[in-house]
Amino acid sequence: MREIVLDTETTGFDPETGDRIVEIGGVELYNHIATGRTYHQYINPERPMPQEAFEVHGLGDDFLRDKPKFAQIGQEFLDFVGDAVLVIHNASFDMKFLNAELRWMGLPQLPMSQSLDTLAIARKRFPGAPATLDALCRRFNIDNSSRTLHGALLDSEILAEVYLELIGGRQPDLVLTRRSTGGDQGDDNWRPRPRPTPLPSRLTEAERTAHDAFVDKLGDDPLWRRG
């Protein structure tokens, strides 16, 4: 199962009043294991960056001026996402912005059924407790010390770790590389590989002997002797 842990940064709270996306970050998981493939894009919002948004994201007009507009990267973003489940903290917010941008381009919109809201999962698991990303990092002892400003790729990397804890714990071999690589990185056909050396049997000699004696009593062609 392919999932994209996704985050966006915006100029404000409502695309219908003129707010736009300024950054998208995504981390690809396959069967709940990070593949190392990421998507990261800064976007020119085609409007001034409000001071309060600048203070949260650290992205100013000068920095964003030469970045591509959403219309230039929208199809590339859809191609990266494909039919993957979108794991988002407060999914309705990000999906609202993404679908507004896609609608303005005349591109297919992303159905809400394609998203999975980690905020809703956290509130269900820990009713009444704080469910912000920072609060969940504290609960699960996840290091978010580098999160001094909101950044889409960093937040999606942190959210990937939080998500895996919310659904039952991180895989022991999970490695989330914190680097800003483009959407063309990685292998579309990546799959978790089998162990190069099988794990040794934990069956003791006494258990093996007892099992053989039991099978001997089952007739001439028991299932355990075939193959």
95 to each of 65, 69, 160, 174, how far by Cα in Å?
24, 18, 18, 27
DSSP 193: P
Strand-pairing partners, residue 2, are 30
DSSP 180: -
- Cα–Cα distance, 69 to 50 (Å, whole number): 18
Which one is catalytic: 32, 40, 57, 150?
150
Are the CB atoms for 123 and 136 separated by under 8 Å? no
211 assigned to active site: no
Are the CB atoms for 116 and 91 separated by under 8 Å? yes
The set of catalytic residues is 150
